[in-house]
Each structure stands twice: as structure tokens, then as C-alpha cells.
Structure 1
Amino acid sequence: MSYELSRRHVLTGGLSVLAAATLGLPHPALAAAAGKDSIVVRMETDLTNLDPANRTGPIDNNVIWSVMQGLVSFKPGTTEWQLDAAEEITQVSDTEISFKLRPGLKFTGGYGDLTAEDVKYSFERFIKPPNGKPVVYAKDWAPLDHVEVTGPLSGRIILKAPAPALWVIALADGSGRIVSKKAYEALGDKAETTLIGSGPYMLKEWTPREQFVLAINPDYAGPIKPTFKEIVCKPIGEQKTAEIAFQSGEVDFTMIEPESAKTMEGVADSKVLQIPAIDYVWFGPNMTKKPFDDIRVRRAIRLAVDVDAILQGAYSGLYPRANAMMAESLLGYWKDAPVYQRDVDGAKKLLADAGLADGFKTKLTIQSTARFQAIAAIIQANLADVGIEVEIDALESAAFWALGEGDTSKDLELSLVKFSGKFDPSFQSQWFTTAQIGQWNWQRFSSKVYDDLDALGSKTVDPAKRAEIYIKMQKLMDDSAAFIWITHNTNAFATRSWLKPGLLPNGNSWLFTGFTQA
């Protein structure tokens, strides 16, 4: 990703060949000759963890969706669901869902038929992990009591309490994918890198850091029919490199920076799509680390940092400012959240009151992208003005997200983070509960009131009451002064004119089965 993004038009001749050689991609002439049975899609990062219960984000999830079935799955472009592995599914009551599977569904790899026992194993493993290890997405199935198998292809999902978000957060999403019990018991930890499913695609090949390829599953017996026989996915971390690849015809679809929209609209046979995002980007301190255990220091940092300058300098003024966790399109949006403006004198006074008039040294950990490096540079300069000397620790994607494992995050001081959002506020809020300390709660924010509200919000059916709950939770986060919100992002994409991508409304979630010819 590059802060000063390319403003060049279509690249031809030698540069096109150079880009192809550099990326290991086919030359445009060869790609055109191959026809449209396959497409090449750029991904921001490589695959990390292909276990639905422990996936690391939307890139893993997009592939899991394509290879594994759920009882239901999202329809492209909406948050509505359609039948998938289920032939029938019924919400019998607030705490019971009955289902009947389609006959003839088979797992790849010779692991046999998909049965109700696999559904039971797939969902219950979130609340009772077979290996005893914590499950990253356990909260998605927290309302689950058990799955009762009533026949080889039928069963009942029994909940402990009403769960209004279950259809969107779990059943239709990655946490609702059905794994093969037989395969997972045989594979153990290898399930993180071995994708066994019954869905429309198979993971045909995966060469780490180079490409992974989805190919049609010849034994698929479900209702969702993909257009393309093969989807080649290229992990290209740098936005400028990805844009060159698209301009020169090497890639058919890529996420771009909104700053590049005008340039990419000028590429022949191409179009640009823009979707408001529901991500949340923030930075903040580890509340348990000195001197950040003093709220005066946390408040000083919040006053010292100029969020508007970050939006201008690192986002070219094209992204909306975030003042709390929930984006405007979500239930629980806090429209009256405080908007903190920079106050250097106020920050210095707070530091002096905390006995730190001479400042201190600290480390800011970020993901190594040009965007985050630009943000970090502004934060570094802002904090230097109040006597805080910041060292920037930029990590590659895999190393950065590995901080969510094994309590590695306990040693963080300041961190800059982007989480991808889902369509219900309970998804956004779950990562900041006390139970998430040691996993994804890197600020180590701990509030029993917050935890209780989070549990209440997940089972409250009335939308107005739920909204009030999530606003109260965001107020608690604001009171902690551990979260300096930056933006909810804007997602922009460049695509060939003949290609209609299967995007969900948040922009991060892609249904490869929904990619069609326009």
C-alpha cells in the first residue's frame, strides 16, 4: 500500500511484462486467450487459518465460504440468507431452530456424507472445543446450549436464550460453516491449513505468499451455482503494486484506495465501486502497562493526537471520522459521541499531574502497510509535541495478527488496529470483553458492567433496547480513554466491466460463488 498512490494510466509494453514477471502472473495476452472461465483476484494478504472457528479475518472467511457449506448462506449484495446445506430450516421459537439437510451432500477428500452429526460437531465445538483450546469466534455461538440430532439428516439447535443476531453472525457467516467431524478428528491442527468441505469450490492449490486457487467441486450437490470454473487469488500487499497489476491486465478485481478511484476509472474496460465500510480503526494503550495504567496518561494521549490530521494526511480527507465503535449504518450507532479535538496544553497538564512532565518513551506496534505507517508517523509527531518519544514497530501481517495468540499481546504498549465489522453490533463489541484479554482485547480493557451489557445485548430482541445497550457500552469505552477512534473506512474496488463481484454490504466480505459476468 502506498500513501502517494499512482496517478498513471494504463501501463503497456515492457512495464506490463515487468509487472507480470515480478508478480508471477500471466501476461494480458495470455489472460485474454484463456477466456472467462477463470478470473484473477487480488487479495491484500495470504491465507492464515482455514478453521472456521479460528479464522483470522475476511480473507480466510471468503475462502471458507466458498469451500464449506452452512445450513444457510448470504445472498450476494445483501444481508439476507438463502438455503444452502439445509433443505428446510425453521425458527420454531426464540430458543429452537429445526433443520433438515439436503440428501447427497459429500465432503471432499473422501470424508463421506454430510450429516446432522457433522452439524452438531461443527456448532458445539465453538462452546466445547474438542482440544480444549480457546476458540477465537466462540462468542458467535455463545447462546448455544446443544444441537440435538433427530435423524441422519435432521436436528434441532437448542439455545440457552434468545439470540437475535444468530442468523447473521453465526448461521449465515463463517461460524456457521459445517466441517467434517471425521476430517477434523483426523487432521487435528492441520485443519488450519487443510480445507475439507462440501461446497461449490475446492481449494485446488495453495502456494504460500504466491497464490491460492479455487476450482469447481465436481461432487457438489447444493443449490448455489458459481459462474467461474476457477478463481486464482494473488496475495499482493502493496496497493500500488496491485493497482499496476490491474492497470496492466494482470488482475481482474482488486480493492483499491479511494484516492485512486479517478485513475482507475480511466482504465479501459473497467469500473470502480465504492461501499461505505463498517470497520473500526483505532489506536490505544495497554491499560495494564505503566504509565498507561494511569487514566490521566491515557487522556493526555487522546488530547495529544490530532485525528483530523490523520484523516487528511493518511487518508487524503476521503474517509469519515469515527468517534465510537459502531458505524452509522449499525444498530447502536452513538451519534452524540464526543469529538475530541487536539489540545497540546491540556495533554501536557495531564502528564504533569501524573508526574510525567518530562515525558517518557514508548513503542507503537502497527501492521506494516504504507497507510498505517503514515498514521503512525503522525501519531509519533503529535506525541513528541507533549514529550512522549514513540518508537514505531511495524510488523508483517502474519506476525502482527499472531499477537492475538497465547497472550502475546500482554507486552504491547501502544497499538494501531483495524478490525473488520459484521452486520450486528454484538460482533463488534465482543472483542473487548474481559474474556478476550489474551486474544483480541489488546487494550486489556476490563469492565464487568461492559461484560454484563454485552451478554444482555446478545439476547435482547427489541431493537430499540438493544441500541441503548450498545450505546452504554461505547460510553464505558470512552470513559476508559483507551480507544482513540480514527475511521470506519470506505471500501473501493476496481473491476473489469464484464465482471460483477459478489460483495456483501460491508465490502470486506466477498462471496466468490456470487462473482458473475455482468
Structure 2
Amino acid sequence: MAFPVTRRAFLKTSGLLAGAAALPFGAMNPAFAARERITLRIARDFQSLDPANRVSYIEETIIRACTQKLISFKKGQFEWELDAAKSIEKVSPTEITFELKPGQNFTGGYGEMTAEDVKFSFERFQTAGPNGTKSEYASDWAALDKVEVTGKYTGKILLKNPAPSLWLTTLPDGSGTIISKKAFEALGDKVKTTLIGSGPYQIAEWVPNQKVVLRLNPEWKGAKPSFNEVVLRPIADPKTAELAFRSNELDFTVIEPASAKEFEKIPGTKVINLDSINFVWIGLNVEKAPLNDIKVREAIRKAIDVDEVVLAAFNGAVKPARSIIAPGLLGYWKDAPVYKRDVAGAKKLLAEAGVKPGTKLKLTLLNRPAYQTAGVVIQAMLQEVGIDLQLEVLDGGAFWSVGKGESGKNLELSLQRFGGKADPAFHTQWFVKEQIGVWNWQRWDSPTFDKIYTEAASTDDTAKRNQLYIDLQKEMDKSAAYIWLTHEANVFATKQWLDPAILPNGDDLQYALYKEV
């Protein structure tokens, strides 16, 4: 579990960097002057470095720096290039052949990467969950039949059906990570905190909730990264991170969109603003009374003015969303309905559902300033229609577990934010029946949705897929279980001498490709 880092705690435990904070801008100790290391902020400490059971982009970004895949994304692009593979070929819609480069060694003395490791890495997604169940990311490999080893370095990935998203959301991404079969069998549960990889970096030091130090892997044979060390500082509060950046304790950090103009004025600072494909929404638990009545869900949707919520929460720096898939992606629903606020209509629906004025509901949200502001605005809007909305604000570790398992049955409303990927199959996979109790916190069960999802994920016809993903969003809209807020924007502050590598979704960072300008 990741624990909150207050400003006082951060400044007290900043250790090695505390001295640098006291220096005038540009004054650095000799080691730092050589820029052998960079110091970056992460929103929380990692929880599991097992690729099949990673929690989010935070783990994925660390895994990416320390491991390899058959193919990986080019710097800052959703286009791929060869990584561990010497060659890879789509022989047919259901067969992919590959050949590994020889001499790629895992750290920790676990030997050379072979096709057996590829087979183990991909096939285990169906059994890597608790007690041999499917992993949380099993959907990424849902089309996999098996990996057939044809030689020490060669093999075939055989699919049950076509899976076009494999090339964008699986093979070059977290679920395409190649791990050591020998290491996983030897380490057991320790794989959550012991990352054995073959990539440019390895974890040299980990002080829980204080820092993660990545250091160059001496056995790495690829292009050498610019920095010998990457120091990651878990800082939960964005404002604390902004203070740390101003004090030169960080070289790079995510900042709140509303802070962009202020940071542009800081000498030696560059602000990067990227459109996002992530999605933020209010989810309603359709199993929990009175939210199990669609009239109540529709009333809540009528009571909320999304434009006003987003304006207040993000100070005009982001645009409202109308559906789950962002503009520019396959499946974008440009004609998605825009729900205008209708207080009278909301009250009428609540009365028809037998919901009395003063009924209490709870909105659970992440401890982030923008989200808390959104919560306060929503609270006031629902008060006008007779709902007494309580706000439950949680830090990262507690929040990301609150909707899982049996405890998820008691969740009422939640303000959630998921990261997007290059293909809509990734965005929509979390809302199938199988994800109830995992990431489907709305506990929404739609056989129609599941059927369309399966069809969309297994066709190579781009036009057909596009329409199917629009149809999926129409089903979500009918449920009134989702109130879309924004796709956000990704805003970063970086020292001018640093050229970061950021994938288009804005969450996934490529530490090994950061360079000094």
C-alpha cells in the first residue's frame, strides 16, 4: 500500500536532495553538475512489479525501464520498433512468429532470455491472479491460444481469433513484458518487489514511500541511456511536488493544469502540455440501493452540470468529455449526447423512485485538489435536488482498493480516473462482467456490452470496429451508470536541460529515453 506524503514529511525525508534545495538556482554539487542522475516525481510508491498484476502506469513505467518486450514503442509515439526480437512477423490473422536476439541476459544471474521465457511470460496471464485465477490484465491476452516454442530463440504466438489491439496495447506495452521463468519460479511472492529484467536499468535501491533508484544495468547491450541513475520520489500531493520542483529537488514532475501559466514564468523551466486520452468519470454502483433504480441514476445525471464541474475543478484548463473514448482514437463517438442540467427533471425522477429529500449518498474520490473541487461542486448540485452527498477522500493506496472484492459492494458513487492506451479495446475492457469486483466498480453487468466487446476486439475490419466501439458507448450511456467528466490534459514541468520521453497518453514515461539537451 502507498502511504500519503505530506509536505512536511517530504521536506523532512528528502535526504540527499535537501542540500540542493538550499542552493541558488543553477548551483549544484559536482556529481549533480555532471548530470549522471535525474530525479523525477511519481504519484505513489509501487505496489507490485509483477507485469501481470501491476496496478497502473506507475508500476508499468518502472517495469518498462528495467525489462524488454518483443517490440517497444518509439520515443513519444504509439508506433513500435523491435526490442528483444530480432524479427517479428504477422503470418496470418491468428499467427505471429518471432526470433529473439541472442545474448540478452536477465539480471540477478538468471541467465539468457529464450523463447521459453516468452511463452511463460504471455501464457501466465490466464493463471497469474490469486489462487491461479486470471490476472487483472488477462483481457490483454484474451485472444491467446498458446505460444509454441520452435527453437531456443524462436517461437509462434498462436491466437484463437484475430486481435488487432495486440500490436498497440499488449506486445509493446506492460502485458508484453518478457520475464524470467527461472526467476519467477524461484522468487515466488517476492516478484512483487524484486524486478528481474533484461532492460537498460535495474532497481538499485528502494526505500518504501521515499525513493526508488534505477541504475544502469551493466549487462545491457543496447543503446546506453543518458543518465546513470533515475531517482523516483513518491509524492502524493501535486502541490507538494510543485514545491519540490521549485526547490530544485525534482527535475521533472506532473503539475496541475491550472498551474501551467505560473510555471512558465519560472527561470530554467519548460512546461509541456499534451492532450490526454485518459478518462475521468463519476461511476454509480448499480447494485447498491437506491442506485439500483435507473430513475435515480438518471436523476443524478440530470442534476450534475458537467461543464460547470470541469470548469471549477480544472480552472478552464481542460475540456469536458461526453464519452469514454477521446477524440482522435478509433471509436470516438462524436455524436454522444450532451446532458444539460435539469433540476426539475431530476427531482421528478427521484420522487417517482420514492427517494425522499435528505437521502444520504457517498462519493468516494482520490485525494487530489482538482477532484476534491469537483466533489464539492457535485455535492452542492445534488443538494439542490434533495440528495445529501457525503465526500470520502482517500489517498492512493486506499482509494485504488476500495472498489475491489466484497468491499466494492458497499461503494455508492466514485470519482474515477483511468489511463488510456492507443486502442479502444483497452479502455472498454474494464467494464465487462468479468471485471466486477476488480475494476468494474459500477458492478454493471450487460450481456449486450460483453458480446459487442468480444466482437470488436476480434475483428480486423477497422470500419466495423469503429462502429462497434460506438455501439459499446451507447450501451454504457443507456445504463446511466457513467457520468463522463473529462479526458483531462497532461501538463508537466521539466528543467530546460532535460528532454523527457512521454508516450501520447501522458501517463506512460520512457525513462531510458530521457536525454540531456
Q: Shorter chain as normaliser: what TM range? A: over 0.9
Deviation, 1:355, is 1.1
Q: Retained in 2: the 8 A contact 1:284–1:484?
A: yes
Residue type at the aligned position of 1:301: I
Contact 1:84 1:224 in 2 (8 A): no
Find the residue that maps to 1:350 and give its secondary structure. Answer: helix
Deviation at 1:46, TM superposition (A): 1.4
Match for residue 496 of structure 1?
495
1:23 and 2:23 are equivalent in the alignment: no
Matched-pair contact (CA < 8 Å) for 1:116–1:151:
yes
* Structure 1 outlier segments of 4+, above 6 Å: none
Which residue pairs with 1:283 in the alignment?
282
How far does the alpha carbon of each residue in 1:151-200 deviate from its partner, in whole angstroms, 9 at most, with x for none?
11111100111111101111000000011111111222221121111111
| Cα distance change, pair 358–270 in 1 and its aligned pair in 2 (3 A) | closer
Match in the other structure for 2:484: 485
Q: Where do residues 39-78 of structure 1 align in structure 2 (5 Å cutoff)?
A: 39-78=38-77
Q: Is 2:95 the counterpart of 1:104?
A: no
1:366 aligns with 2:357: no
Contact 1:20 1:250 in 2 (8 A): no
Give the SS at the match of 2:334.
Answer: coil
Report the 3-state secondary structure (helix = DSSP H, G, I; strand = E; otherwise coil) of the residue aligned with 2:227.
Answer: coil
**Are the equivalent residues in 1 in contact too, given 2:53–2:136 (CA < 8 A)?**
yes
Distance in 1, Cα, partners of 2:381 & 2:351: 17
What is the percentage of aligned positions where both structures have the same residue?
A: 50
Q: Match for 2:244: what amino acid?
A: A
CA positional deviation for 1:84: 1.0
1:357 is displaced (CA, Å) by 3.8
Q: CA deviation at 1:21?
A: 4.4
Deviation larger for 485-494 or 351-360: 351-360
Separation in structure 1 between the aligned mates of residue 291 and residue 342 of structure 2, nearest angstrom: 19
Q: TM-score, normalised by structure 2?
A: 0.94
Cα contact 1:359–1:386 (8 A) shared by 2? no
User: Which segment is superposed worse, 197-206 or 353-362?
Assistant: 353-362
In structure 1, the partner of 2:137 is 137
Alpha-carbon shift at residue 509 of structure 1 (Å) = 0.7
Measure how far apart 1:19 and its partner are: 7.8
Distance 1:208 1:385 in 2: 44
Match of 2:319 in 1: 320
Distance 2:283 2:492 in 1: 29
Answering whether residue 393 of structure 2 is matched by residue 394 of structure 1, we say yes
Q: Which residue is 1:515 aligned to?
A: 514
1:275, CA displacement in angstroms?
Answer: 0.5
| C-alpha separation in 2, matches of 1:31 and 1:210 | 22
Identify the residue that residue 190 of structure 1 maps to in structure 2: 190
1:232-254 per-residue CA deviation (whole Å, 9 max, x = no partner) reads 01111212211111112111001
Distance in 1, Cα, partners of 2:271 & 2:123: 42
Q: Could you report, residue by residue, the CA deviation over 1:287-342 in whole angstroms, capped at 9, with x for unpaired residues?
A: 01111111000000001112112112111011111011100021101011111111
What CA distance in whole angstroms lies between the structure 2 residues aligned with 1:288 and 1:19? Answer: 40
Q: How many residues are paired up? A: 502
Query: Quick one: distance in 2 between partners of 1:278 and 1:446?
Result: 25
Residues 45 and 209 of structure 2 are in contact (CA less than 8 Å); yes or no, is this contact kept in structure 1? yes
Counterpart-to-counterpart distance in 2, 1:501 and 1:462: 36
Structure 2 equivalent of residue 162 of structure 1: 162
- Counterpart-to-counterpart distance in 1, 2:249 and 2:313: 28
Q: 2: distance between equivalents of 1:474 and 1:102?
A: 42
Please say if residues 331 and 424 of structure 1, whose CA atoms lie closer than 8 Å, have aligned partners that are also in contact. Answer: yes
Change (3 A) 1:328 1:32: farther
Query: Per-residue CA shift, 1:51-92, capped at 9, x if unaligned?
Result: 111111111100000111111111111111111111111111
SS of structure 2 residue aligned to 1:440: coil
Structure 2: how far apart are the matches of 1:99 and 1:204?
31
CA RMSD of aligned residues (A): 1.7
Whether the aligned pair in 2 keeps the contact of 1:407 and 1:437 (CA below 8 Å) is no
Residue 263 of structure 1 and its aligned partner are, at CA, apart by: 1.6
Deviation at 1:425, TM superposition (A): 0.3
The runs of 5 or more residues in structure 1 that have no matched partner are 1-14
TM-score when normalising by structure 1: 0.94
Q: CA–CA distance in 1 between the matches of 2:110 and 2:491?
A: 40
Partner of 1:5: none
Alignment of 1:115-154 (within 5 A): 115-129=114-128, 131-154=131-154
Is the 1:351–1:359 Cα contact (8 Å) retained in structure 2?
no
The answer for unaligned runs of 5 or more in structure 2 is 1-6
Q: Structure 1: how far apart are the matches of 2:464 and 2:392? A: 42
Q: Distance in 2 between matches of 1:314 and 1:475?
A: 27
Does the residue aligned with 1:336 lie in a helix, a strand or coil?
Answer: coil
CA distance in 2: counterparts of 1:313 and 1:139, whole angstroms: 36
The aligned residue for residue 11 of structure 1 is none
**Is the contact between residue 53 and residue 128 of structure 2 (CA under 8 Å) also seen in structure 1?**
no
Code of the residue aligned with 2:19 in structure 1: it is H
* Separation in 2, partners of 1:312, 1:262: 16
1:117 is displaced (CA, Å) by 0.6
